[in-house]
Amino acid sequence: MSTYILLSELTDEGAATIKDRPERIKEVNEEIEKLGAEVKEQFAVLGPYDFVNIVEAPNEETISRVSVELGSRGTVKIQTLTAIPIDDFVDSFEE
């Protein structure tokens, strides 16, 4: 499984949904699992993004599907980053 970081920014519609139904956040996590990925950690943050999610998925196609599916709803804008474990990164420089 590969690790990805999803930086999420709520739209006005998404913010209204969370205000009225905060449990919706965990429902979306279940939907992500049905798409083949797993939310490992999730943080509400201050600043330009509203949430930071650490997600595992088997491949880029799966995480791309997650991002497109969630983004197509109009409630959130997502930036997806590939995360490389630091030991793997350091090892890539060794011969």
Structural domain range at position 20: 2-91
pLDDT in tens, 17-56: 999 999 999 999 999 999 999 999 999 999 999 999 999 9
Helix 60-71 and helix 24-34, axial crossing angle in degrees, nearest 10: 140
Find out whether 10 and 24 touch, Cβ atoms under 8 Å. Answer: no
| Residue 95 predicted with pLDDT over 70 | no
- Name the burial class of residue 8, with classes exposed (0-12), middle (13-18) and buried (19+) by CB atoms within 10 angstroms of its CB: buried
pLDDT in tens, 46-89: 999 999 999 999 999 999 999 999 999 999 999 999 999 999 99
Mean pLDDT of the chain: 96
The CATH number for 23's domain is: 3.30.70.920
Q: Number of structural domains, the chain?
A: 1
| Residue 10 predicted with pLDDT over 70 | yes
- The contacts of residue 41 (CB under 8 Å, 6+ apart) are 53, 54
Which of 24, 18, 75, 83 minimizes the C-alpha distance to 54? 83
